[in-house]
Amino acid sequence: MTELSNLQFDAQHLWHPYSSVKNPPLLHEVISAEGVYLTLDDGRKIIDGMSSWWSAIHGYAHPRLNAAAKAQLDQMSHVMFGGLTHDPAVSLARRLIAMTDASLQHVFLADSGSVSVEVAIKMAIQYWFAQGKTDKQQLLSLRGGYHGDTFGAMAVCDPVNGMHSHFAKVLPQHLFAPTPTCREDAHWQDSDIAAMRSLIEANHHQLAAVIVEPLVQGAGGMRFYCPQYLRELRSLCDQHNVLLIFDEIATGFGRTGHLFAYEAAGIVPDILCLGKALTGGYMTLAATLCQSKVAEGIAADGQGILMHGPTFMGNPLACRVACESIDILLESNWQQQVLSIEHQLNTELSDLSAHSLVKDVRVKGAIGVVELTISVEPFMAWLPAFIVEQGVWIRPFGALIYIMPPYIISTEQLSQLTMAIKAIVNKVSESVKS
């Protein structure tokens, strides 16, 4: 019997993200990765415009990250974090506390971004429970938001246009404010926060926290909004005794042009979720940071036990790589890299605004988004292969063609990505006309 190829076996047995086993997605087998390039099994090298879902900010096979992983493997790949500790976890916590606001003094090391959101929600609810305010168990979030695929995280994602409508009857019912629309502080109007204000004023007795993705709503629609919204939100939460959670899983570690998006607004959340780029894309790891008032408040009832404990919490291998990734970032000229990417994306994508199929072109930091007037989903049977033919890897979804490239990308490599975006728009346009 002839053995199935990897792609054949994959199509029959492996379940990929957001896919059906009846209609498996068209796949390409990656055999190696280095710098900004993915090498396919047929020998082609393609530029990764997605940073492996926004995480590989230093590119692939970085010699320092490789060395850190190898050295830690020889020492200890994993040990339980219950009742034990180790230098990689402590060193990572030192770095995270040093690079975030001074008020964020406590770190919970989680498995993934979704889990860090779960932990943040638990922190908020346990905080109020310990204060004797057991009615404060509801969350308030934004429409158009995405916070992960686990059940607590799904419950604060957009309930109508999100990806989790099948689970509506079993998810906790939370509150949602309209998606912010003001992109620049110069265009701020008080009406932008009015609905959020009304929801907080009417429901603060039952609200544990507001949770938002600051400045950039990621997988829920790649929308950008202005820092003033965050300032107003911080003020409202303070006025009405509601905790504020920022989900910076996508925006953290420089992606928006600030080390963390909250810095653009000059305010700090009570709880901060980090992930994705934390290890430079090497392995799964996330962190939930909180202010001392939250950590100490959870202990106010004399117990203070945060009810969460993943098996692989504080994994030494992941923590060591994360330490090295942070060091690489802070030692680099990442601000200029991100600024240069932003300038080039603005320059090279702006002419698409005049295209009949394009609804909007927007850029923030190292994020470039082209929103079409139609969804690309009807074209996904052939579009991935067409994208690879352009020598790049881009993964459109819905009406969005977007890139979040590694910070190390060169101007020539970035131009290849922007040219590919234009080719995708034109090809889709031709298909619509035909």
Query: Terminus-to-terminus CA distance in the chain, angstroms?
Result: 44
Question: Per the residue annotation, which of 48, 247, 282, 364 is the catalytic one?
Answer: 247
User: Please, what is the average pLDDT of the chain?
Assistant: 96
Given a contact cutoff of 8 angstroms between Cβ atoms, the answer to whether 316 and 78 are in contact is: yes
Question: Per the residue annotation, which of 146, 229, 262, 407 is the catalytic one?
Answer: 146
Given a contact cutoff of 8 angstroms between Cβ atoms, the answer to whether 54 and 401 are in contact is: no
Active site residue 276: yes
Given a contact cutoff of 8 angstroms between Cβ atoms, the answer to whether 36 and 48 are in contact is: yes
User: In the structure encoding, which two tokens stand for residue 201, read together?
Assistant: 């004023």
Stated pTM of the model:
0.97
β-pair type (37-40, 367-372) = unpaired
pLDDT at 130: 94
pLDDT at 307: 87
Residues near 5 by beta carbon (within 8 Å), at least 6 away in sequence: none
Q: Which of 220, 218, 178, 183 is nearest to 196 (CA)?
A: 178
pLDDT at 15: 92
Mean pLDDT confidence for 378-405: 96
pLDDT at 268: 98
- Exposure letters 281-302 (e unless 16+ CB within 10 A, then b): bbebbbbbbbbeebbebbeeee
**Hey, what's the torsion of the CAs at 256, 257, 262, 263, to 10 degrees?**
-170
Mean pLDDT confidence for 314-331: 98
Active site residue 37: no
Tell whether the model's pLDDT for residue 304 goes beyond 80: no
Percent of the chain having pLDDT more than 70?
Answer: 100
| Cα–Cα distance, 197 to 213 (Å, whole number) | 17
Mean pLDDT confidence for 207-219: 97
Residues near 16 by beta carbon (within 8 Å), at least 6 away in sequence: 24, 25, 27
Given a contact cutoff of 8 angstroms between Cβ atoms, the answer to whether 103 and 296 are in contact is: no
How sure is the predictor about 163, in pLDDT bands with cuts at 50, 70 and 90?
Answer: confident
pLDDT at 309: 92
Question: Per the residue annotation, which of 18, 22, 42, 74 is the catalytic one?
Answer: 18
pLDDT at 338: 98
> Does the structural domain 6-61+333-433 have CATH classification 3.90.1150.10?
yes
Orientation angle between helical segments 227-239 and 191-203, nearest 10 degrees: 20
- Each residue of 401-433: pLDDT tens digit? 999 999 999 999 999 999 999 999 999 999 998
| Cα–Cα distance, 434 to 430 (Å, whole number) | 6
| Fold classified for 76-331 | Aspartate Aminotransferase; domain 2 (3.40.640)
pLDDT at 242: 98
Per-domain boundaries in the chain: 6-61+333-433, 76-331
pLDDT at 174: 96
Q: How far is CA 164 from CA 157, 211, 426, in A?
A: 8, 18, 32
φ/ψ (deg, to 5) at 210: -105, 135
Question: Per the residue annotation, which of 276, 282, 364, 407 is the catalytic one?
Answer: 276
Tell whether the model's pLDDT for residue 400 goes beyond 80: yes
- Each residue of 22-75: pLDDT tens digit? 888 878 999 999 999 999 999 999 999 999 999 999 999 999 999 999 999 999
